């Protein structure tokens, strides 16, 4: 059976791009996609994809040193050396040079997603991107329009959809809860992220960066459309101690057209000695009951003298040793990327239309509502922060008309 090739390039090699994305890509380069489909219930396609090889053609980053590091790490783990690209917009040269590219992976900072995604789609290249897909509704509409017009896949890494606990909640528990009444999502990131790892925090905020996960989860599984939004944030420690004009924490409350109210609480101030990488939890109240999920503490807990207490989430992304001593990756953080790759494989190798797969994965159209909520929240946060700084009550809110919105 002749080998078929899927050609991939990646831009962005920061905290997530060099960890979960890179780990997933190394597994795909080594063994193709077939071995990883069972966790997604896609094992029926494994035989069709058994002869597919996935090649990483290039990795692009902001600086030459980071590009060379990414290439060296890929070579050490896979034996292949992608081409290095670097600069302010490395995707432009990459797409110019690689005219046979099938997939562009976007793992750049939040505010640098829309440009490479749009550029790739205009060249006829499928995209897999980290969240959020983009920051503005007009960008999301443009991306969705290009995917439909050019019959392409844009898969967004919304891995909370694939968390086994969330699958249990929304597929099996939710039907017994009755209509949703109120929900809450909390995700708190380490202070290190906002002060050391990310240089671009002033272009984002905790809700945009990680609250989007909960927005996508609730909107996707509950089929919600926003009606109104109120948001407030606090600019204190990052501004006063670190000189960054960025939000420490945000609270966003969205009322939806069916009456469901969801509260999102996010910050990136968690101290380094907290027992886990992040703190995260959710709750959903229905007419006939309530379900709570602590996504941080899942039962694995230990403490060691002089090292404090620790908890581990082994479900998200963990390493499994192969007989030869190398490591494979497993977890729902990988599952979301695999699902997006599978849809691209179905288009390229099984002649399935990308438009026919709409709604079966976190696609561009599914991100219209979350993007509208993100953009509206950013406007309300900024407007209310101006009032807070002036010693006035934070009274701004947003009213939605469909996905369009106006500040009041």
Q: What is residue 339's three-state secondary structure?
A: helix
* Helix residue ranges per DSSP H, 284-391: 332-350, 368-389
What is the pLDDT confidence band of residue 264, given thresholds at 50, 70 and 90? very high
Predicted pLDDT of residue 115 = 98
Would you place residue 1 in the very low, low, confident or very high pLDDT band (cuts 50, 70, 90)? Answer: low
Strands (E), 12-51: none
Query: What pLDDT was estimated at residue 2?
Result: 66
Sorting pLDDT into bands at 50, 70 and 90, what band is 186?
Answer: very high
Whether 407 has a pLDDT exceeding 80, the answer reads yes
Q: Is the pLDDT of residue 62 over 70?
A: yes
What does pLDDT average to over the chain? 96
What pLDDT is stored for residue 3 in this prediction? 82
316/157 Cα distance (integer angstroms): 13
Which domains does the chain carry? 4-159+318-363 (3.40.50.720), 164-313+369-407 (3.30.360.10)
Q: What is the mean pLDDT of residues 27-32?
A: 97
Rounded to an integer, the average pLDDT of 101-113 is 96
Six-digit token string for 176:
């017994």
- The answer to whether 283 touches 184, Cβ cutoff 8 Å, is yes
pLDDT at 114 over 70: yes
Average pLDDT of span 156-171: 97
Tens of pLDDT, residue by residue over 294-329, are 999 998 999 999 999 999 989 999 999 999 999 999
Q: What pairs with residue 154 in β-bridges?
A: 127
Checking if the pLDDT of 82 tops 80, the result is: yes
Alpha helices in 51-209 (DSSP H): 64-78, 90-97, 114-122, 137-150, 164-168, 174-177, 191-192, 206
Q: How confident is the model at residue 55 (pLDDT cuts 50, 70, 90)?
A: very high
**What is the pLDDT averaged over residues 214-227?**
98
Per-residue pLDDT at 258 exceeds 70:
yes
């Amino acid at each position: 059976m002749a080998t078929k090739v899927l050609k991939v390039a990646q831009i962005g090699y920061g905290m997530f791009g060099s960890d979960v994305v890179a780990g997933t890509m190394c597994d795909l380069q080594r063994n193709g996609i077939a071995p990883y489909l069972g966790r997604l219930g896609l094992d029926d396609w494994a035989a069709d994809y058994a002869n597919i090889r996935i090649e990483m053609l290039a990795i692009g980053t902001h600086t030459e040193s980071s590009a060379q590091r990414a290439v060296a790490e890929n070579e050490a783990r896979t034996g292949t050396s992608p081409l290095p690209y670097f600069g302010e917009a490395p995707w432009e040269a990459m797409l110019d040079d690689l005219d046979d590219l099938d997939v562009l992976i976007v793992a750049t900072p939040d505010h640098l997603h829309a440009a490479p995604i749009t550029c790739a789609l205009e060249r006829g290249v499928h995209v897999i991107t980290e969240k959020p897909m983009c920051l503005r509704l007009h960008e999301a509409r443009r991306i969705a329009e290009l995917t439909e017009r050019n019959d392409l896949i844009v898969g967004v890494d919304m891995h909370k959809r694939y968390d086994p606990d969330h699958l249990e909640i929304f597929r099996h528990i939710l039907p017994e809860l009755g209509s949703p009444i109120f929900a809450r999502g909390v995700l708190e990131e380490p202070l290190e992220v906002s002060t050391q790892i990310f240089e671009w925090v002033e272009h984002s905020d905790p809700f945009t960066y990680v609250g989007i996960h909960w927005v996508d989860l609730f909107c996707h599984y509950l089929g919600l459309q926003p009606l109104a939004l109120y948001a407030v944030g606090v600019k204190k420690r990052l501004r006063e101690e670190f000189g960054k004009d960025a939000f420490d924490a945000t609270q966003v409350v969205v009322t939806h057209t069916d009456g469901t109210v969801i509260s999102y609480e996010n910050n990136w101030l968690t101290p380094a000695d907290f027992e886990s990488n992040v703190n995260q939890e959710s709750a959903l109240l229905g007419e006939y009951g309530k379900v709570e999920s602590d996504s941080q503490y899942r039962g694995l807990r230990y403490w060691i003298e002089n090292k404090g207490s620790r908890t581990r989430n082994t479900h998200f992304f963990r390493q499994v040793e192969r007989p030869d001593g190398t490591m494979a990756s497993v977890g729902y953080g990988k599952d979301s990327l695999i699902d997006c790759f599978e849809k691209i494989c179905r288009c390229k190798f099984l002649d399935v239309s990308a438009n026919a797969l709409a709604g079966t994965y976190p696609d561009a159209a599914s991100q219209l509502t979350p993007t509208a909520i993100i953009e509206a929240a950013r406007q309300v946060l900024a407007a209310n922060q101006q009032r807070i700084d002036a010693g006035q009550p934070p009274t701004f809110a947003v009213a939605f008309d469909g996905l369009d919105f106006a500040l009041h």
